Amino acid sequence: MALDDRKTTDFKFIGSRPDRPDGLDKVTGRAQFGADAHAPGMLHGAIVRSPHAHARIISIDTSKAEQLDGVKSVVTRADFAKDLSGEFSFVLENVMAGEKALYDGHAVAAVAASSALIARDAAKLVKVDYEILPHVTDVDAAMADDAPILNDTYADASVPSGLHPNVVRYHDSGHGDVDAGFASADLVIEDSFKTEATHQGYIEPHACLATLGNDGKGELWCTTQGHWIAQKTCAALVGIDTSQLRVTASEIGGGFGGKTTVFIEPVALALSRKANRPVKIVMNRSEVFRATGPTSSTSMDVKIGMMKDGTITAAQGIFRLQGGAFPGAPMEFSAMCAFAPYALENVKQIGYDVISNRPKQAAYRAPGAPMASFAVESVIDELCNKLGLDPIEVRLKNASREGTKASYGPRFQRIGLVETLEAAKAHPHYSAPLKPGQGRGVSCGFWFNHGGETSVSLALSEDGTCQISVGTPDIGGSRASMALMAAEVLGIDYENIRVTIADTATLGYNDVSHGSRVTYASGLATIKAAQDAVEKLCKRAAAKWGIPEDAVFWEDGCAKPSGANAGNFDPVPLAELTKDMGATGGPISGHFEATPEGAGVSFGTHIVDAEVDPETGKTAVVRYTVIQDAGKAIHPTYVEGQFQGGAAQGIGWALNEEYIYGEDGRLQNSIFLDYRVPVASDLPMIDTVIVEVPNPGHPYGVRGVGETGIVPPLAAIANAVSAAAGVRLRHLPMSPPRILRALVAQAHEG
Amino acid sequence: MKTIHVTTTVNGDTVEYLCDPRETMLDVLRDRLNLTGAKEGCGTGDCGACSVTVDDRLVCSCLMLGVEAEGKTITTVEGIADGENLHPLQKKFIEYAALQCGICTPGILVAAKSLLEKNPDPTESEVRYWLAGNLCRCTGYDKIIRAVMDTAADMREAS
Amino acid sequence: MQYHSPNSFEDAAALALAATGTTRFLAGGTDVLVQLRADIITPDTVIDIKNIPGTQNITCNADGSWTLGVATPGAEMREHAGLGQDWPGLVEAMDLIGSTQVQGRATLVGNLCNGSPAADSVPAMATAGVELSITNAQGTRRVPVMDIPAGPGRTHLTQGDVISAVHIPARGERGGDAYLRFIPRTEMDIAVVGCAVNLRLDTAGVITEASVSLGAVAPTVLVLDDAADTLIGSTLDDASLDRLAEAASAACNPISDKRGTIEFRTHVAGVLAKRAAKIAYARAQGVTK
């Protein structure tokens, strides 16, 4: 049976729930994360950061720091590569400021010393002379005519003339005639929304250990979602050849998109080169908040027209995203995801990428989509309320299906949105009675998912076991998923397979663990690599039996003759074939390298009940259900974990998480005490329903599941809170002061 | 900076070290004793990843000076298992997938063990509030809470 | 940074008096270490008072009053059988500070001496009538808790003063206290508003003594005599509760910051005052613990 024809029901290993291979290391404390590495002769680095939101660097005096006993090297921008262009130039500018400090926390110099305490002391001795410039941190203010200009060379050709230089990219897409669509609607609602920037909030701060000699050869250990991109970027920033830098990914203590780029790694390399010693840099929490990539803050206008029967006649959205001091805010993803759940004849979406005096944004789980979804799904909810329609029925009526022309262009292949909506409608949660003061909200959400460059190498051992090298850092249990998929192909037990995250020297290029791509792309590559090994096993059996290669097939972990005509031979198990493989043709391995393009999109529908204290504006999430299409759940427990984690981050974003800047442009809440992620007592159990509508682009039907789960919560909770409070909330987070203000304003309006 | 000599007990072993008075207990554990199981997620007592017990009292090791350990008895995540036999919580956390990235896991295990020693039959709410100082960004806490509750039930049955 | 671990308060006071630069006493350390780590304050001298005998003891005196050692962590207070029976509001206020882990170290005296207007235990101590012993080179004196706060991050203690004991009055008959605070989450935040109420009733349920205190709404914790007066003579009917809320809100002089706005704090102060008064009243009646 050809592998790609397999049905998604008769699996032996796929869909089971074995223990994760990294579990023991992680419960005993011996797993090695970014900050856990040591090296002989190691120095500790510390970074000097700008206290100003926008300032010209007049001079940097490092002499006092250099004179401190124990200090071995000091670097500034002069110690990095010159004449970089494109994204590398933005990353370098972000990693170490050049002419200007562009945000509170922007790195301006760094020191390495024999202890962390000395490095901290030395950093305080670096004297930087600044000329303070006017700053702007709000997206709407940054677009205004009188806004301070950060950089007048960043805007690209997409930006229409007449806009402020802080608008650096523009997006415009859609189809049909929205004006005609609005004209034919029974009800049109247009509303404006804002969301504040949030941080991925991984518990492990950025950490790395770097060694670089003046021969241009280096070693880097770091916590990252993608060590090949780290290799490429770091090599460029310190001016060495890519292949001369070997990068090893540590265990990663959470990333959620925020560890897809580099911050401290090139600095540690530059310090190491100057001191000729290994240098370790570990960020503290405040540095993580001030100087790594939070998500964008947004300002959005959404207009939707609807018939009395719930049919959407037209939809339009304007999405303005502030992404820090450099181009790159994911406004096109906001625009493209906003209306993707709906089959629309008339749709138009516009995006603005705006720079401001904040840290360079980084990806955060479905970048750009949650905010756009918040605005769109809030307006749909309002339309349902005004027209007296059931929110799930309306979404079902308009839902994208197989063949629908997506709001962002292509036609959908087989997708599972309708199935998630049907499951939501049938779920006991949707019909459960609410208590006084409670409200229920629903929302749909969408994320593209991604393929990306992928390499996997698999080797069989003489004892019939298997080792697999993958290049995508394990951020959600992917080593277990890879082992399950390989076990399914090879027909050997899960326990007989060991999966390792290979370093950059031992495997071909791999794109970052992002875009919900790992189980899809590395999984597909693992299946193909295992299939490659199986072909070789079959050849060995054919040779052993003296029959043609195509007369052998693989089933249940054994080579078998394909039928009576092939000959009458007993099946030969894998271990029999590997036992003497050295003598029968040499080691047996499997490889696969490709850029797979068949990542299936994933839709989800969330239901949430919220209770609002009308006297204080405080919200409690009392019940939460996630329903999402996983295509095929390789390890259902880890799929549930992704659903629950996405929902929890969405709850934080909706209710309390936000970057708060003072008038001085400084971040006010750079520790976990005041950047309020949900704690255990804030959340209910998070119920999950895994819908499985197979992705035609993956042999087992896998769709990535990591990101879609954070898309619906913002709107679902906003809809629940608005129902509970009796007033529409249009600004996230819906912190108690914002809700109370809305309640008071409504009471005054009467 | 003058260093201070400290004698203390960590995971049953008597250890001695010299430390700068500015170093936290977490710094000492990780950098001087090479016990890197306790993690620094915040350095301000807000995330719990550095949780240890000191004389059986649950604390954040980032909020304690290394010099304060003189004469104390400290247990870290490395001291939870009995040789190759995992503590029931460790087994259950693997079984329930009550961890994803695993950076918060050492602190949560130390904290949960401390809870079950004080309260063998906690309610869900009691578990959630006891662990409110242990941030987890991956799991949404669901599987962690279930693992702790189920471990408690097993341990009650076994005793 | 010099670290000292004296064996007596006299030695601690002498060390503090002789020290130059910034001095910090280490009781629980949960504020001192955060400031050290965040490079806000690196003291020149740290005096660890936990090794002074008796500093972790909770003692019920013959007259029903309580004496607490200054390094008694919140967790010990919460786990103590009798203290929470007498002063549930005070114990809850302490218990709300930080996580379980922080409770393993944090102390009433540290919370007071950190000088935060948002300190949770201070309103509860104020309404309970807590007094403190202060030891210095001249000897030991006893002062009410509200003599200590001077403003954000500041106290009226002078160099060489060290707080050496916490004295909580006897609970007495038909009394009850409560402390509530508002935070956006359920745990782990600094109070946006805090409110403590302590009441005593006569046998008919009429309030005869009342004390009301607010945190986080002014540069220091406030004790509201006006608000307390609205309660005395009442049985906590709706009208007296409304007057209490009005008085509480009227007393506020807050700032807008990352944790809350002026309007929000002013409004919520009234809400919490009512809610805390109801809990304290029920406790005084013996209806609840």
| Cβ distance of C101 and B63 shorter than 8 Å | yes
| Cβ distance of B132 and C30 shorter than 8 Å | no
Residue B159: predicted pLDDT: 85
Is residue A474 predicted with pLDDT exceeding 90? yes
Residue A284: predicted pLDDT: 97
Cβ distance A190 to A317 under 8 Å? no
* Nearest CB neighbour to B133, from listed C33, C37, C100: C100
- List Cα–Cα distances, A534 to A225, A497, A548, in angstroms: 30, 15, 15
Cβ distance A690 to A419 under 8 Å? no
Is residue A9 predicted with pLDDT exceeding 70? no
* Nearest CB neighbour to A656, from listed C184, C187, C271: C184
C263 at interface of A, judged by CB pairs closer than 8 A: yes
Residue labelled with tokens 């004295």: C167
Are C99 and C157 contained in the same domain? yes
Are C38 and C63 contained in the same domain? yes
Residue A750: predicted pLDDT: 64
Are C10 and C104 contained in the same domain? yes
Residue A4: predicted pLDDT: 47
| Cβ distance of B41 and A203 shorter than 8 Å | yes
Of A315, A372, A300, A377, residue with least CA distance to A348: A315
Measured distance CA(A505)–CA(A469) in Å, rounded: 12
| Cβ distance of C98 and B130 shorter than 8 Å | no
Per residue, what are the HEC states of C191-218? CCEEEEEEEEECCCCCEEEEEEEEECCC
Q: The CATH number of the domain where C185 resides is what?
A: 3.30.390.50
A463 at interface of C, judged by CB pairs closer than 8 A: no
A620 at interface of B, judged by CB pairs closer than 8 A: no
| Cβ distance of A676 and C263 shorter than 8 Å | no
Q: How far is A486 from chain C (nearest CA, A)?
A: 43
Are C25 and C83 contained in the same domain? yes
| Cβ distance of B63 and C102 shorter than 8 Å | yes
Q: Residue C258: beta bridge partners?
A: none
Are C265 and C161 contained in the same domain? no
Measured distance CA(A304)–CA(A242) in Å, rounded: 49
Cβ distance B61 to B27 under 8 Å? no
Q: Hey, of A27, A289, A606, A626, which one would you mutate to test binding to chain B, going by the most B CBs within 10 A of its CB?
A: A27
Identify the closest residue of chain B to C102 by CA–CA distance. B59
User: Could you tell me how many residues make up chain B?
Assistant: 159
Q: Residue A748 CB: number of other CB atoms within 10 A?
A: 7
Residue A476: predicted pLDDT: 87
On whether residue C125 sits in a domain, the answer given is: no
Measured distance CA(A276)–CA(A268) in Å, rounded: 11
A616 at interface of C, judged by CB pairs closer than 8 A: yes
* Nearest CB neighbour to B58, from listed C26, C36, C101: C101
| Cβ distance of B45 and C46 shorter than 8 Å | no
Are C148 and C240 contained in the same domain? no
C-alpha C250: how far from chain center: 22
Are C38 and C179 contained in the same domain? no
H or E segment to which residue C167 belongs: strand C162-168
Residue type, C274: K
Identify the closest residue of chain A to C259 by CA–CA distance. A674
| Cβ distance of B45 and C102 shorter than 8 Å | yes
Residue-range domain boundaries for chain B: 4-79, 88-158
Are C100 and C238 contained in the same domain? no
Residue ranges of chain C with per-residue pLDDT less than 70: none
- List Cα–Cα distances, C241 to A212, A527, B89, C126, C224, in angstroms: 70, 70, 48, 21, 14
Measured distance CA(A526)–CA(A456) in Å, rounded: 6
* Nearest CB neighbour to A683, from listed B34, B106, B140: B140
Q: Report the half-sphere exposure of A615 (CA within 13 A, side-chain side).
A: 10
Residue labelled with tokens 């944004």: A361
| Chain A residues close to B141, C-beta within 8 Å | 648, 678, 680, 683
- List Cα–Cα distances, B140 to A608, A619, A648, A678, B98, in angstroms: 15, 17, 5, 8, 10
* Residue C137, Cβ density class (10 Å: 0-12 exposed, 13-18 middle, ≥19 buried): exposed
Write the DSSP assignment of A552-569 as a string of letters. Answer: EEEETTEEEESSGGG---
Residue A368: predicted pLDDT: 98
* Nearest CB neighbour to C261, from listed A615, A682, A737: A737
H or E segment to which residue B18 belongs: strand B13-19
Residue C263: predicted pLDDT: 96
What is the per-residue pLDDT across A90-139, written as a single tens digit (0 to 9) for each? Answer: 999 999 999 999 999 999 999 999 999 999 999 999 999 999 999 999 99
Residues 200-259 of C with CB under 8 A from A: 257-259
Cβ distance A441 to A715 under 8 Å? yes
Measured distance CA(C36)–CA(C42) in Å, rounded: 5
What is the per-residue pLDDT across A715-740, written as a single tens digit (0 to 9) for each? Answer: 999 999 999 999 999 999 999 999 99
Residue B1: predicted pLDDT: 56
What is the per-residue pLDDT across A58-84, written as a single tens digit (0 to 9) for each? Answer: 999 999 999 999 999 999 999 999 999
| Cβ distance of A668 and C271 shorter than 8 Å | no
Are C82 and C194 contained in the same domain? no
Of B74, B38, B28, residue with least CA distance to A33: B38
Q: How far is A117 from chain C (nearest CA, A)?
A: 11
Cβ distance C240 to C230 under 8 Å? yes
Q: What is the mean pLDDT of residues A27-52?
A: 98
pLDDT (tens place) for every residue of chain B, 159 residues total: 589 999 999 999 999 999 999 999 999 999 999 999 999 999 999 999 999 999 999 999 999 999 999 999 999 999 999 999 999 999 999 999 999 999 999 999 999 999 999 999 999 999 999 999 999 999 999 999 999 999 999 999 998
Measured distance CA(C83)–CA(C74) in Å, rounded: 12
CB pairs under 8 A between A and B: 181
Please count the helices (runs of H) and the strands (runs of E) in chain A: 21, 27
- List Cα–Cα distances, A495 to A126, A260, A482, B84, in angstroms: 54, 31, 12, 19
| Cβ distance of B129 and A644 shorter than 8 Å | no
The DSSP output letter for A627 is E
| Cβ distance of A679 and C182 shorter than 8 Å | no
B88 at interface of A, judged by CB pairs closer than 8 A: no
With a CB cutoff of 8 Å and minimum separation 6, the contacts of A424 are A392, A430, A442, A605, A607, A625, A627
The average confidence (pLDDT) of chain A is: 97
Q: Choose which CATH entry (1.10.10.10, 3.30.70.1230, 1.10.150.120, 1.10.3720.10) describes domain B88-158.
A: 1.10.150.120
Q: How far is C31 from chain A (nearest CA, A)?
A: 13
Q: Report the half-sphere exposure of C217 (CA within 13 A, side-chain side).
A: 29
Please state, for a pLDDT cut of 70, what percent of chain A lies above it.
Answer: 99
| Alpha-helical runs (H) found in C19-87 | 32-37, 74-79, 83-86
What is the per-residue pLDDT across A343-394, written as a single tens digit (0 to 9) for each? Answer: 999 999 999 999 999 999 999 999 999 999 999 999 999 999 999 999 999 9
Are C141 and C195 contained in the same domain? no
Measured distance CA(A4)–CA(C55) in Å, rounded: 72
Burial A35-58 (b: 16+ CB within 10 A, else e): bbbebeebbbbbbbbbbbbbbebe
| Cβ distance of A679 and C187 shorter than 8 Å | yes
How many independent structural domains does chain C possess? 2
φ, ψ at C189 (rounded to 5°): -115, 165
CB pairs under 8 A between A and C: 61
H or E segment to which residue A387 belongs: helix A369-387
| Cβ distance of A674 and C186 shorter than 8 Å | no
| Cβ distance of B22 and C188 shorter than 8 Å | no
| Cβ distance of B94 and A24 shorter than 8 Å | yes
Residue type, C177: D
| Chain A residues close to C184, C-beta within 8 Å | 618, 655-656, 676, 735-736
Measured distance CA(A63)–CA(A67) in Å, rounded: 6
Please state, for a pLDDT cut of 90, what percent of chain A lies above it.
Answer: 97
| Cβ distance of C258 and A616 shorter than 8 Å | no
Q: Which domain holds residue C197?
A: 175-285
Fold held by A454-594: Aldehyde Oxidoreductase; domain 4 (3.30.365)
On whether residue C262 sits in a domain, the answer given is: yes
Q: The domain at B4-79 falls in which architecture?
A: Roll (3.10)
Dig out the tokens for A748 from the structure: 């005054």
| Chain C residues close to A678, C-beta within 8 Å | 185
- Structure pTM? 0.97
Dig out the tokens for A441 from the structure: 């909200």
- List Cα–Cα distances, B53 to A290, B23, B104, C100, C204, in angstroms: 31, 18, 16, 11, 49
| Chain A residues close to B148, C-beta within 8 Å | none
